[in-house]
Amino acid sequence: MGTFPLLSVIIPNWNGKRFLEECIGSLRDQTFQDFEAILVDNGSTDGSAQFVEERYGGFVQIIRMEKNLGFTGGNNVGIRAAKGEYIVLLNNDTWTDSRWLEELVKAVDCDPMAGMWGSKIYSYDKKDQIEAVGELIYWDGLSRARGQFEPDQGQYEEMEEIFFPPGCGAMYRKRVFDEVGLFDEDFFAYADDAEIGIRARLAGWKSLYVPRAILYHKNSGTGGQYSPFKAFYVERNRFWITLKYFPLALLLLSPFFTFYRFTFQAYGAVTHRGAAGKFTKNYSPWRLIWILLRAYGSGFQGLPNMWKKRRMLKSMRKASYGEIFNWFKRYGIGAKEISLRN
């Protein structure tokens, strides 16, 4: 394993000082040590960069940005600076098992067409509860973590193909970014892993779930798990995903799927079930409606740009429309489940 090519572990950070000791400390204790660690500090004002420099200066390369570039922009800065042949993305609000990198590295030879590898992600607060073992997608482009909120009863112990990995702890071949491009910085945050994952799948790359690559995640520790910030970007960005990548027939049908989803989410907001219900425990339903209106306003404002990108990416596509529809059957999730699951 010592001859394996260099890994570059990239940690985007914005005012996450409270998370960094545990995150970087667990990274320093990895059994696999042939990697470089890069912290991209997105204009933090909480002393994050200074803390890392004082505590981990010889271990972590720090790139200081003057402003917050988001998850997408921060990762892109790190990827451009990376020397490794494999890129590992790690959220600042995570804690990794000591064999995490070793297990990801072991999985590389399992499939030569795999360009993305996902971890077994547990809830930080409930260590026996699964947060994600891959991602699922609804017919309107909204994605949801596979296995989320399930107790771990050994049901996800086999390595298998997944649609794409959650971006809070994933490994990519550098070649994937060389071929399909970097993260779309217009997305800023949320659904960015879906956007790059779908783009890579369309270009012919596969993704594998690695059950022994374990990490723990404080879900949305930086952005807030059920916050207005997250609600806005999740809804706007899933709309942009449909514009960039969906076959025309599915794109035209997606508003009907969205309306159907909204009926379940409205029920969830009233009964305090699902993400909408958890949001309305702290904010009014009218606040949620206003955020959705803003999200669609921003989404339609960006429509010409996304359509231009759709046309530019068309030449890169290798997957047939039949394959794309099969992804929704294989990795799909229904409106009720994506809206009401607690």
Q: How many CA atoms lie within 13 A of 314 on its CB side?
A: 9
pLDDT digits (tens, 9 = 90+) for 111-156: 999 999 999 999 999 989 999 999 999 999 999 999 999 999 999 9
Q: What is the mean pLDDT of residues 4-17?
A: 97
pLDDT digits (tens, 9 = 90+) for 281-319: 999 999 999 999 999 999 999 999 999 999 999 999 999
pTM: 0.95
Q: Specify the amino acid at residue 43.
A: G
Q: Which residue has the tokens 């042939």?
A: 34
Return the pLDDT at 342. 78
pLDDT tier, 3 (very low <50, low <70, confident <90, very high otherwise) = confident
Q: What is the mean pLDDT of residues 220-227?
A: 69
Return the pLDDT at 221. 57
Q: Two tokens at 92?
A: 């600042």
Q: Which residue has the tokens 């807030």?
A: 224
Question: Is pLDDT above 70 for 22?
Answer: yes
Q: Specify the amino acid at residue 112.
A: P
DSSP 133-166: SSEEE-TTS-EEETTTT-B-SSTT-S-EEES---
- Counting residues of the chain whose pLDDT is more than 90, the rounded percentage is 96
CA–CA gap between residue 149 and residue 171 (Å, rounded):
23
- Counting residues of the chain whose pLDDT is more than 70, the rounded percentage is 98
| CA dist 215 → 36, 99, 197, 282 (Å) | 19, 10, 20, 29
Residue 80: helix, strand or coil by DSSP? helix
Q: Which of 173, 171, 333, 325 is closest to 261 using CA atoms?
A: 333
Packed helices 228-245 and 192-202: angle between N→C axes, nearest 10 degrees = 20
Say which residues have a Cβ less than 8 Å from residue 3's Cβ, sequence separation at least 6.
none
Q: Two tokens at 214?
A: 């374990």
DSSP state at residue 272: T
Residue 215: helix, strand or coil by DSSP? strand
pLDDT digits (tens, 9 = 90+) for 96-114: 999 999 999 999 999 999 9
Question: Is pLDDT above 60 for 223?
Answer: no
Counted residue by residue, the chain has a size of 342
Q: Which of 160, 171, 299 is closest to 236 using CA atoms?
A: 299
CA–CA gap between residue 26 and residue 68 (Å, rounded):
25
Q: Which of 14, 69, 78, 71 is closest to 47 using CA atoms?
A: 14
Return the pLDDT at 220. 58
Say which residues have a Cβ less than 8 Å from residue 107's Cβ, sequence separation at least 6.
114, 117, 159, 208, 210, 213
Q: Two tokens at 242?
A: 């449909």
DSSP state at residue 15: S
Return the pLDDT at 272. 92
CB-based contact 197:135 (threshold 8 Å): yes
